[in-house]
A and B are shown apart, each in its own frame.
Chain A
Amino acid sequence: SQKIEQNSEALNIQEGKTATLTCNYTNYSPAYLQWYRQDPGRGPVFLLLIRENEKEKRKERLKVTFDTTLKQSLFHITASQPADSATYLCALEGYSSASKIIFGSGTRLSIRP
């Protein structure tokens, strides 16, 4: 069955450093990969989408890579700030308009001052 793996352990990073989160998937060939941010007790908020034919996407301090050979996406936050502390979810979607988005369980990121 389709499976998405995100590091279940929290990631603790010193402010100013680059945070890198990993999303691995198996038994799936997604056309699109999305990243969401979720704060405690709130709904996820969309951050970035990357297509299978795109290797890298950037938005301000965020960068996402998508390696379909490794079946992996990396999510980077450069110059991290305490306000970046949250849980980050990756999500996969297929080619068909009938396909549904599948979410990973998320990685909790904590940026210490």
Chain B
Amino acid sequence: DADVTQTPRNRITKTGKRIMLECSQTKGHDRMYWYRQDPGLGLRLIYYSFDVKDINKGEISDGYSVSRQAQAKFSLSLESAIPNQTALYFCATSRDGVSYEQYFGPGTRLTVT
């Protein structure tokens, strides 16, 4: 089984709808992250959490919110989706501390029409 899973894998939604992307991990890691990836822009950090009680904004948090329900679960919500939120979204985890690699999920391809 995959260490990091994301649901759904693909989603098409309409402008103004609320949508939640879910992430679960079996690595036992404290740290979890949400990124979006757009062509030519690389991975941009939306939100990150260093433990269940610690939630931090990344560089592009506007229009997004998150919830860390448990050590293993970290969900991303788009309160009112807009077309420029169309992107590939990745969840990742890592061990607490520095110099540890990140483990990524398979991604969610989100299209907002």
Contact = CB atoms under 8 A, between A and B. Distances in A.
B99 A42 contact: no
What's the dominant secondary structure at chain A's contact region? loop
Nearest to A42: B106
Interface stretch (B35-43, B60-68, B75-83): B35-43
B107 A43 contact: yes
A38 to B, nearest CB: 8
A10 interface: no
Contacts of B50: 98
Contacts of A44: 43, 90, 102, 104
A46 B98 contact: no
B98 A95 contact: yes
B1 interface: no
A51 B99 CA distance: 8
A100 B98 contact: no
Interface in B33-92: 35, 40-43, 45, 48, 50, 58, 88, 90, 92
A103 B42 contact: yes
Interface string A94-106: 1111111101111
B92 A43 contact: yes
Contacts of A34: 101
A43 B105 contact: yes
A49 B101 contact: yes
Contacts of B48: 100
Contact of A49 (B42, B90, B99): B99
Nearest to A8: B40
Interface of B: 4, 35, 40-43, 45, 48, 50, 58, 88, 90, 92, 96-99, 101-107, 109
